[in-house]
């Protein structure tokens, strides 16, 4: 999967560290041990604000994304192919965009 940048550029907060150029993300990912991952639901616009390593992004609120972020925060290895298998096209794209954003922020290590 190629990372062509953040798919939500109008929603990204100011960065404190530069983006990492990512050309490929492996199927199995894990949160890097030095990363602090945070997220909070925004109830009024029904969005989810996620942040890591000085970067943040707003996504449409979904329990799927909350579960994904929760598993990441526990240090669980996640198989992206299994995760997106049963998703709708829009959910799949958003989940892949979130993964690409986390990778470009240096928040993921590949296992």
Residue 4 falls inside a structural domain? no
SS3 110: strand
- pLDDT score recorded for residue 82: 87
Distance of CA 104 to the CA centre of its chain: 9
Low-confidence ranges of the chain (pLDDT < 50): 1-16
Angle ∠(25,68,79) on CA atoms, nearest 5: 45
Q: Provide the domain count of the chain.
A: 1
- pLDDT score recorded for residue 22: 65
Question: What is the pTM assigned to this prediction?
Answer: 0.76
- pLDDT score recorded for residue 2: 35
Helical pair 63-73 and 89-104, crossing angle rounded to 10 deg:
30
- pLDDT score recorded for residue 17: 52
Range of the domain at 42: 9-110
């Amino acid at each position: 999967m190629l990372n062509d940048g953040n798919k939500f550029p109008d929603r990204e907060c100011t960065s404190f560290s530069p983006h990492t150029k990512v050309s490929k993300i492996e199927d199995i990912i894990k949160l890097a041990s030095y990363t602090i991952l945070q997220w909070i639901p925004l109830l009024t616009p029904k969005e989810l604000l996620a942040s890591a390593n000085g970067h943040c992004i707003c996504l449409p609120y979904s329990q799927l994304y909350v579960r994904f972020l929760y598993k990441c925060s526990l240090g669980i290895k996640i198989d992206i192919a299994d995760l997106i298998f049963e998703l709708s096209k829009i959910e799949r794209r958003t989940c892949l965009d979130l993964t690409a954003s986390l990778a470009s922020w240096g928040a993921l290590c590949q296992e």
